[in-house]
């Protein structure tokens, strides 16, 4: 998602909720029609639509808007709309980066400063982060007290994940925060939105759909290695290669990664390949992917990404 902080406007949470529900009820309704549906001023509704669009909850223009969350419809109540906005805020990269800082023990002001730099927000955009603070409080993500911290339930969920890695969770937002915590802010920022989502999916599906979890971990690792190749002038060579194993071999050939990294990559690739083939070539029998296999695939992928990032960026050797 491209970030455009100028689309964040000061809008009451109740208006955001009402406008989102109207978009779910009235497909392709104009701004004027949504305003009539909500019983609110058209100017205020137009601002709310910009905010909801920036958060990835609606799409369109003044002539027609649509809710892009399939789980919201005419029968959805206020609680469902609040939950959708809450999840969207947690997945919104500037706000997510602030939450990462709070988990690391930073003050809210410190988290805002680091988040602004991490996601490339200028001074003008940074001022808009105060709006995110208020919405975070209103939608139960942040505490309404000083010092401002993460809501205790959310913080507890992330801490529980850290204590028992890769446990199944119902919220992708919690999974994303967990991934950012174990991976580290710098390495997490280096990933694009697709790969952040893949790693979060690997966490949430490790028990419910272990093969899909293994595939998500493997794809995120492959994508990351391809990005590393491109950042180091190897894009042309990498374009001819398939899979994390081949990309890892190319990086090792140019001494960008350590042999231990290549072994980690090969381990993750083994799990992904076993999942991909319906029947093993030697035994002509398919592999059954267990939740332990999925957890191992995720842990191996996340460790490889973190370790390679630290070697290239900081010259450190960590496993």
Model confidence pLDDT, tens digit, residues 142-187: 988 888 888 877 777 676 666 555 454 557 778 888 888 888 888 8
Q: Which residues pair with 29 in a beta bridge?
A: 65
CA nearest neighbour of 224 among 253, 260, 256, 255: 256
CATH of the domain at 26: 1.10.10.10
Handedness of CA 15, 54, 98, 6 (dihedral sign): negative
Phi and psi torsions of 305, nearest 5°: -65, -50
* Domain assignment present for 178: no
With CA atoms as reference, report the closest residue to 210 among 166, 260, 161, 155. 166
Phi and psi, residue 147, nearest 5°: -75, 145
Same domain, 192 and 308: yes
Q: What percent of the chain has pLDDT over 90?
A: 40
Rounded to an integer, what distance in angstroms lies between the CA atom of residue 159 and that of residue 161? 5
| pLDDT at 110 exceeding the cut of 60 | yes
What's the CA gap between 156 and 169, in Å, rounded?
13
Please choose, from the candidates 293, 133, 142, 121, the residue with its C-alpha nearest in 3D space to the C-alpha of residue 207.
293
Query: Tokens 């930073």, residue?
Result: 106
Bridge partners (DSSP) listed for residue 58 = 67
- Asked whether residue 101 is assigned to any structural domain, the reply reads no
Q: What is the CATH number of the domain that holds 219?
A: 1.20.120
**Across all residues in the chain, what is the average pLDDT?**
86
H/E element, 222: helix 210-231
Segment 205-233 shows an average pLDDT of: 92
Range 120-136 average pLDDT: 79
* C-beta atoms surrounding 303 within 10 Å: 18
Residue range of the domain that includes 56: 5-69+78-87
Residue 127 inside a domain? The answer is no
Residue 165 lies in a domain: no
CA atoms within 13 A on the CB side of 278: 0
Examine the domain organization and report whether 198 and 310 are in the same domain. yes
In angstroms, the Cα distances linking 288 to 108, 191, 208, 215, 270 are: 46, 30, 14, 13, 13
Check whether residue 194 and residue 306 sit in a common domain.
Answer: yes
pLDDT digits (tens, 9 = 90+) for 262-319: 999 998 888 888 877 666 677 768 888 888 888 899 999 999 999 999 999 888 888 8
Residue at 158 is within a domain: no
| Judgement on whether residues 83 and 190 belong to the same structural domain of the protein | no
Q: Would you state the structure tokens that stand for residue 3, as one six-digit string?
A: 């970030």
Q: For tokens 């993500």, what's the residue?
A: 141
38-91 pLDDT, tens digit each: 998 999 999 999 999 999 999 999 999 988 888 887 788 888 989 899 989 988
* CA separation for the pair 233, 119 (Å, rounded): 24
Containing H/E element for 66?
strand 64-67
Let me know if residue 167 belongs to a domain: no
| Alpha-carbon torsion, ordered 49, 51, 53, 58, to 10 deg | -50
Find out whether 215 and 206 touch, Cβ atoms under 8 Å: no
Could you give the number of structural domains in the chain? 2
State how far the Cα of 91 lies from the Cα of 193, in Å rounded to an integer: 9
- In whole angstroms, give the CA distance from residue 4 to residue 50: 10
For residue 238, the model assigns a pLDDT of: 92
């Amino acid at each position: 998602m491209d970030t455009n902080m100028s689309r964040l406007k000061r809008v009451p949470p109740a208006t955001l909720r009402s406008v989102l529900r109207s978009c779910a009820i009235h497909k392709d309704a104009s701004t004027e029609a949504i305003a009539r549906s909500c019983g609110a001023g058209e100017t205020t509704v137009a601002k709310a639509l910009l905010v909801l669009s920036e958060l990835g909850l609606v799409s369109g223009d003044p002539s027609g808007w649509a809710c892009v969350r399939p789980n919201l419809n005419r029968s959805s109540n206020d609680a469902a709309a609040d939950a959708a906005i809450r999840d969207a805020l947690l997945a919104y990269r500037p706000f997510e980066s602030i939450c990462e800082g709070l988990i690391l023990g930073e003050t809210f002001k410190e988290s805002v400063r680091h988040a602004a730099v991490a996601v490339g927000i200028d001074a003008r955009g940074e001022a808009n982060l105060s709006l995110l603070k208020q919405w975070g409080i209103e939608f139960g993500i942040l505490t309404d007290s000083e010092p401002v911290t993460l809501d205790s339930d959310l913080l507890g969920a992330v801490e529980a994940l850290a204590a028992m890695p890769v446990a199944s969770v119902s919220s992708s937002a919690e999974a994303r925060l967990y991934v950012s915590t174990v991976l580290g802010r710098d390495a997490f920022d280096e990933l694009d939105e697709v790969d952040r989502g893949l790693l979060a999916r690997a966490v949430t599906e490790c028990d419910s759909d272990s093969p899909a979890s293994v595939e998500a971990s493997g794809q995120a690792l492959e994508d990351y290695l391809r990005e590393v190749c491109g950042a180091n002038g190897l894009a042309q060579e990498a374009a001819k290669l398939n899979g994390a194993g081949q990309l890892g071999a190319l990086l090792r050939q140019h001494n960008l990664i350590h042999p231990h990294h290549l072994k980690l990559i090969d381990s993750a690739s083994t799990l992904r390949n076993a999942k991909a083939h319906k029947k093993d070539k030697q035994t002509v029998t398919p592999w059954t992917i267990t939740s332990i296999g999925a957890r191992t695939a995720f842990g191996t992928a996340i460790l490889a990404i973190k370790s390679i990032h630290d070697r290239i960026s900081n010259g450190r050797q960590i496993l």
